[in-house]
Amino acid sequence: MTIYASFVGYRMAAECARNALLQRVVDNKENAEKFKSDLMKIAMTTLSSKILSQDKEHFAQLAVDAVMRLKGSTNLEAIQIIKKPGGSLKDSFLDEGFILDKKIGLGQPKRIENAKILVANTAMDTDKVKIYGARVRVDSMSKVAEIEGAEKEKMREKVKKILGHGINCFVNRQLIYNFPEELFADAGILAIEHADFDGIERLALVTGGEIASTFDNPESVKLGHCKLIEEIMIGEDKLIHFSGVEMGQACTIVLRGASHHVLDEAERSLHDALCVLSQTVNDTRVLLGGGWPEMVMAKEVDELARKTPGKKSHAIEAFSRALVAIPTIIADNAGLDSADLVAKLRAEHHKEGCNAGIDVISGSVGDMAELGISEAFKVKQAVLLSATEAAEMILRVDEIITCAPRKREDRM
């Protein structure tokens, strides 16, 4: 019976906490300068707990630039991340075009301006009939030669049809074997093979083209466009760079680092930062960080507990204590004396207009607005509400039923 009181109490507390935050939120969407600096601060706060923390200004700037180019869409597909071992994290950079990690075919131009791109997903090695066991029966060698000639002719026709689209660049998801490669080279077309699924989808999205599988109707296929395609070298590898693409939001972040572990972790951290920033661009409310929102919520919820009659006030009080766990853990992980710091923090929060939070660098209570530690309101709200819901759901469970494992017939 008492458990229901706790649910009601938690829900009231969560609502109260959320309102407490809503009152103190800061919204800078009118002022572009301030908004940009908000984004930088949020990015740096997100990155400071990750491996990128040493170069956080550099990466925060990268993330903010990338997200500003998105102009409000939350479609992170347009930002491509390429990892190349070698160099160090500082050597990572943002490139304004699209980079494909593939090579250009032999004998083809390495640089094309004002490119019209056809993105395709078709087999260019042999044109097999896809019926298993299909055979041809002939009675003389010359007929076989004829059939072989016909197959080559078929490939030539296909290439001609492709060329009939008036393109100067052809990107294929599958292999482009020697014969069509040479035909393309002769026609001065840049052909790229083996661009994997991911690359093809992104390229189509970014250049504004459609992925084609048949080439009979050139009018109905939408071609991609970009100003310049050229081959560049990063570290030891050659890559293809598309710049001035139609979808201006596209960009590529090239990550360099010591080893694959470092690169993978850097990609994950950067992804976190990009997600947070893209959400903030839509919902521009920001809060201070460093344990400040938790303490603010804890204070409000505590007061609510005092005003509420009945058993649920105990639940509300407990909620408030739980919120204080966050600054406690931050202090503990930093090797500081959490009991002391949290107590100091609580005292500070009783003053008006306080911005106090935990400053782990100096190991004491500090002003979060001065230190530039900010978080997005949307993040905090989501954390609060989801955590409360999850906790409630777990508390509601009072029995676990395990199903018997599936019977295995062949067990002796």
Radius of gyration of the chain (CA): 30
Residue 400 in contact with other proteins, rule: CB under 8 A = no
Q: What are the start-end ranges of the E strands in 265-376? A: 285-288, 356-359, 364-367, 374-376
1 belongs to the binding site for other proteins (CB under 8 A): no
Q: Which of 33, 219, 236, 409 binds other proteins (CB under 8 A)?
A: 236
Nearer to other proteins, 68 or 123 (CB): 123
Residue 43 tokens read as 């990015």
Q: Are 244 and 226 in contact (CB under 8 A)?
A: yes
Q: How many CB atoms are closer than 10 A to CB 224?
A: 25
- Alpha-carbon span 172 to 164, nearest angstrom: 16
By CB under 8 A, name the one of 19, 29, 32, 54 that touches other proteins.
54
Rank residues 56 and 349 by Cβ distance to other proteins and give the closer one. 56
How many of the chain's residues bind other proteins (CB under 8 A)?
61
How far apart CA 75 and CA 90 sit, in angstroms, is 26
Q: Is 393 in the site for other proteins (CB under 8 A)?
A: no
Shortest CB 332 distance to other proteins, Å = 7
Is 362 an interacting residue with respect to other proteins (CB under 8 A)? no
Closest-CA residue to 10 (of 305, 319, 297, 295): 319
Cα–Cα separations (whole angstroms), residue 353 to 223, 356, 358? 57, 9, 16
Place of tokens 């600096």: 37
Considering only residues 201 to 230 of the shown chain, the ones binding other proteins according to CB under 8 A are none
Residue 224: what residue type? G
Query: Which residue stretch of 19-27, 70-78, 173-181, 196-204 sits at the interface with other proteins (rule: CB under 8 A)?
Result: 173-181
181 binds other proteins (CB under 8 A): yes
For residue 187, state whether it binds other proteins (rule: CB under 8 A): no
DSSP secondary structure letters along 291-315 = THHHHHHHHHHHHHHHH--STHHHH
Closest separation between CB of residue 209 and other proteins, Å? 27
Q: Which of residues 95-154 bind other proteins (CB under 8 A)?
A: 106-107, 126-129, 133-145, 147-149, 151-152
By the criterion CB under 8 A, which residues form the site for other proteins? 2-3, 5-6, 51, 54, 85-89, 106-107, 126-129, 133-145, 147-149, 151-152, 178-179, 181-183, 185-186, 233, 235-236, 257-262, 265, 314-315, 318, 321-322, 325, 332, 334-335
